Amino acid sequence: MEEEKQFLTSVEKSPFSQRLSDEFFVQVADGYETRWPNLIAVGFDVPAFINAAKGVRDIGLFLNTWEQSLEYANFAWSNPATVKDNEGKPIRIPHTWISGCFKRSSHYPRPINYRTPEEIAQEQANQAALKAHAEQEEERFSRAFKEWRSQHPEAELRQMSKWNFDTSIPEAHLRNTFRELVWSQLEKQKIQQPGE
């Protein structure tokens, strides 16, 4: 931490401090280690970030994206073996490569598989809705199956399901028969008459 304070002091005296305020650097340093531990682990600490910030080409873009960029980088470097350069080769010196991203494009690119907390929540909500729908459909199917089964005597069920054995008809076989003979027709009718 003392090293970071000394580095911040030297930055305050540099011409770069005219472009980014002292408050900005203090804001970055505050909680950096806890917010972006994967970056700390690969050597991209506060002094490395400030050094990268000195070389950005588009200060406006940088100021608008620095925090999200650090989120992206922290996510990407949660598994360093998966981070590759443009040629698909592993990154040998992570902190230098991360600095280069900032210096070249003034931000860190969004990883392909990155999801914001909002996107994760939406995906979970979608999955929950799909699961609930599937459960409702299964319940609807089960009710219709039970009703169909109760309306037909055993001999008729054997004939419809083509069950020619002396044993009772397995539930799964009977459900498949219902699905093929009755349920598929009910579903077609449902599609043809969506308002009902």
The rounded mean pLDDT for the chain is 86
Q: Work out the percent of the chain whose per-residue pLDDT is above 90.
A: 56
Tell me the pLDDT band of 136, cut-offs 50, 70 and 90.
very high
- For residue 21, the one-letter residue type is S
- Checking if the pLDDT of 170 tops 60, the result is yes
Closest CA to 83 of 98, 71, 66, 69: 98
Q: Which two tokens stand for residue 21?
A: 């305020």
The pLDDT of residue 75 is 95
Give the pLDDT band (50/70/90) at residue 165: confident
pLDDT confidence of residue 183:
87
Render pLDDT for 69-116 as a digit per residue (tens, 0 to 9). Answer: 999 999 999 988 889 888 989 999 999 999 999 999 999 999 988 998
pLDDT of 15 > 70? The answer is no
For residue 149, pLDDT beyond 50: yes
Question: What span, in angstroms and rounded, lies between the C-alpha atoms of 60 and 47?
Answer: 21
pLDDT tens digits for 31-71?
999 999 999 999 999 999 999 998 899 999 999 999 999 99
Confidence of residue 167 (pLDDT cuts 50, 70, 90): confident
Q: 3-class SS at 84? A: strand
**Which residues, including other chains, have CB under 8 Å from residue 183's CB and lie 6 or more apart?**
141, 144, 145
- Report field, pTM of the whole predicted structure over 0.85: no
Q: Which among 89, 84, 80, 85 is positioned nearest to 37, based on CA atoms?
A: 80
